[in-house]
Structure 1
Amino acid sequence: MNKQRAQEIASSPVMANVTYNGVPIYIQHVDETNEVARIYPIGQPDQEEDVSINSLTEH
């Protein structure tokens, strides 16, 4: 995924179908400078992590 699309998804009120390593995730924030996204698995907001934007897949 590119950083512009990740930012669009993060700021959109509509839930997008995005996965990280095959797991559906929610993008909480995008750091465009470092090209990382703050994510967590759907339904598990206590498992936040920063991952490379390139490792995210939109379906």
Structure 2
Amino acid sequence: MDKQRAQEIVESIAMINVNYHGIPVFIKAVQDGNETATIFPLDSMNHEQIVDLEGLEENQLF
């Protein structure tokens, strides 16, 4: 995922479905100066981690 789209998702009031290597996650923040984001799995909100943006994928609902 590119940094611009990740930031749009963070700022959105809608819940946008995002996966990190197939695991549903919430993007908490996009880091300034690098290509990473702070996320947590939806089923484990206490497991916050910093990951590369390239591992994030937006799910398109049809």
Q: TM-score if structure 1 supplies the norm length?
A: 0.92
| Cα RMSD for the two superposed structures | 0.9
Aligned match of 2:29: 29
The answer (yes or no) to whether the contact 1:3–1:32 under 8 Å persists in 2 is: no
Structure 1 contact 37–51 (Cα < 8 Å) conserved: yes
Q: Which runs of 5+ in 1 are unaligned?
A: none
Larger Rg: 2
- Report sequence identity in percent: 44
List structure 1 segments (4+ residues) > 3 angstroms apart after TM superposition: none
TM-score, normalised to structure 2, is 0.88
Amino acid at match of 1:23: I
Q: Residue by residue, what CA displacement relative to the aligned partner does 1:2-58 show, whole Å, maximum 9, x if unpaired?
A: 000000001111111100011100000001411100000013210000000111001
Q: Provide the C-alpha distance between the structure 1 equivalents of 2:43 and 2:12, rounded to a whole number of angstroms.
A: 18
Please identify which structure carries the higher helix content: 1
